[in-house]
Amino acid sequence: MIINHDKTISIFISMIILIIYFSYHLNIISEIPCEQDITSKILANFIHTDFMHLISNLSGLYLISELEYNIGSKQFLKIFFLITMILSLLEYSLKNKCSIGISGVLYGLVAYEMFKFKHVDLNIISTLIILFIFSGKSKISHKGHLLGFISGLAVTVLI
């Protein structure tokens, strides 16, 4: 099996997040998908409307992209997709309030890395600190982060 040691998926996800961010600030997109349906829950993961929220989440994605480098882009995409789906289903079924940003998925990736490879490295600790402290002051969705972490644990068991 050939593993591609690059960060293509992480870069692609970052570009999508940046395009959406600037689309909001240029009024190309004006609504945040906050309905209680599964599509809104999935789309909300890629939306950032505050600059500090954007920077902290992209920084976290950059740090956790080391996982993609280590396991390959195909496997990383599979894990990212599963975590996003499980997190969105949990938020939908628990009727979690409108929560935007990729940090819940990043917490899931951190959980996956911690429990799959049974180690904690500086990137994981840095990611958690950046996401928790700097991602939007009192508007932080602790429930979203916890559900993301649980989603990562679920993916660890499934794969």
The three-point CA angle 91-96-99 to 5° equals: 90
The three-point CA angle 155-87-11 to 5° equals: 80
Two tokens, residue 47: 């939306």
**Interval 6-53: pLDDT, tens:** 899 999 999 999 999 999 989 888 888 888 889 889 999 999 988 988
Q: In the chain, where are the structural domains located?
A: 8-158
- CATH number belonging to domain 8-158: 1.20.1540.10
The predicted structure's pLDDT at residue 15: 97
In this prediction the pTM is 0.87
User: CA-CA distances (angstroms) from residue 29 to 20, 49, 101, 131, 135?
Assistant: 8, 11, 16, 25, 22
Q: Is the pLDDT of residue 123 over 70?
A: no
Query: Rounded to the nearest 10 degrees, what angle do helices 8-25 and 51-71 cross at?
Result: 160
Two tokens, residue 3: 């593993």
